[in-house]
């Protein structure tokens, strides 16, 4: 089980790294790899879970990395270190099946294998800080999601009210136009009636008796 997950982490890192390097959406690249694996073996289920988890919680994960990396902007991190950190941070914050210590140790193993000599020390401090605040990070994300839902509902309500007002105004405009047309038609009919009456009067024979 442990060895299978170690392999899955490597495959997940490859996908996250490639998406980051190419500037592609993580889930789009994952779906492409699943549909067209080529010569590679199918992506392990846990690798897929990691990749989708990072994609789903990208905002919170990157925010946590920035806030706990002593002033380092996530975008300034080496692309490999950034994605090792994202992967481990997701496991620490969201995957209760994996002890935080295991997630950190696995991240350090990847850093020692693929990154420079400074990466393990940097990642250890960063991920340990995230471990301490994992519960708070989850709570803040829940609050943010609740606020986003409230704003979305408010926006939808305002849009519905605007649509209702526009519909009413459109109806009033149509009614006013109809009334104006009727008034104009009535105005055209009156001179014709008056002309008919005058014609009738002029046509009567004069009584000379």
Averaged pLDDT, 153-159: 92
Residue 172's Cβ-count burial label (10 Å; 0-12, 13-18, 19+) is: exposed
6 falls within a domain? yes
The percent of residues above 90 in pLDDT, for the chain, comes to 66
196 falls within a domain? no
Averaged pLDDT, 102-116: 97
Residue 205: pLDDT band with limits 50, 70, 90 = very low
Averaged pLDDT, 13-22: 97
pTM over cut 0.75: no
Domain that holds residue 89: 2-132
205 falls within a domain? no
d(CA 152, CA 78): 36
The pLDDT of residue 198? 45
CATH number, domain at 77? Answer: 1.10.940.10
d(CA 101, CA 7): 18
208 pLDDT more than 70 = no
Neighbours of 46 (CB within 10 A): 20
146 falls within a domain? no
d(CA 62, CA 82): 9
Averaged pLDDT, 6-35: 96
Residues 6+ apart with CB under 8 A from 129: 68
pLDDT digits (tens, 9 = 90+) for 122-155: 999 999 999 999 999 999 999 999 999 999 999 9
17 falls within a domain? yes
208 falls within a domain? no
192 falls within a domain? no
Residue 190: pLDDT band with limits 50, 70, 90 = low
Residue 48: pLDDT band with limits 50, 70, 90 = very high
DSSP output for 25-86: -HHHHHHHHHH--TTSPPPPHHHHHHHHHHHHTHHHHHHHHHHTTTT--GGGS-HHHHHHHH
Neighbours of 62 (CB within 10 A): 18
d(CA 187, CA 201): 22
Averaged pLDDT, 175-184: 79
83 falls within a domain? yes
The pLDDT of residue 37? 85
Q: Total domain count for the chain?
A: 1
The pLDDT of residue 202? 46
């Amino acid at each position: 089980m442990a060895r299978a997950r170690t392999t899955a982490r490597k495959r997940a890192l490859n996908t996250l790294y490639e998406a980051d390097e190419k500037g592609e959406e993580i889930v789009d690249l994952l779906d492409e790899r699943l549909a067209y694996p080529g010569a590679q073996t199918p992506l392990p289920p846990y690798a897929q879970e990691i990749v989708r988890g990072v994609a789903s919680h990208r905002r919170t994960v990157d925010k946590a990395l920035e806030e706990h990396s002593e002033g380092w902007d996530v975008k300034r991190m080496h692309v490999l270190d950034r994605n090792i950190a994202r992967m481990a941070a997701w496991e620490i914050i969201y995957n209760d099946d994996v002890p935080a210590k295991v997630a950190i140790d696995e991240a350090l193993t990847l850093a020692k294998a693929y990154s420079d000599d400074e990466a393990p020390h940097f990642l250890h401090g960063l991920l340990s800080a995230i471990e301490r605040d994992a519960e708070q990070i989850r709570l803040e994300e829940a609050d943010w999601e609740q606020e986003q839902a409230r704003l979305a509902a408010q926006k939808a309500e305002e849009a519905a009210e605007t649509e209702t007002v526009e519909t009413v105004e459109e109806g009033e405009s149509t009614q006013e136009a109809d009334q104006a047309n009727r008034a104009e038609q009535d105005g055209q009919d009156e001179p014709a009636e008056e002309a008919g009456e005058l014609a009738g009067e002029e046509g009567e024979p004069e009584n000379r008796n």
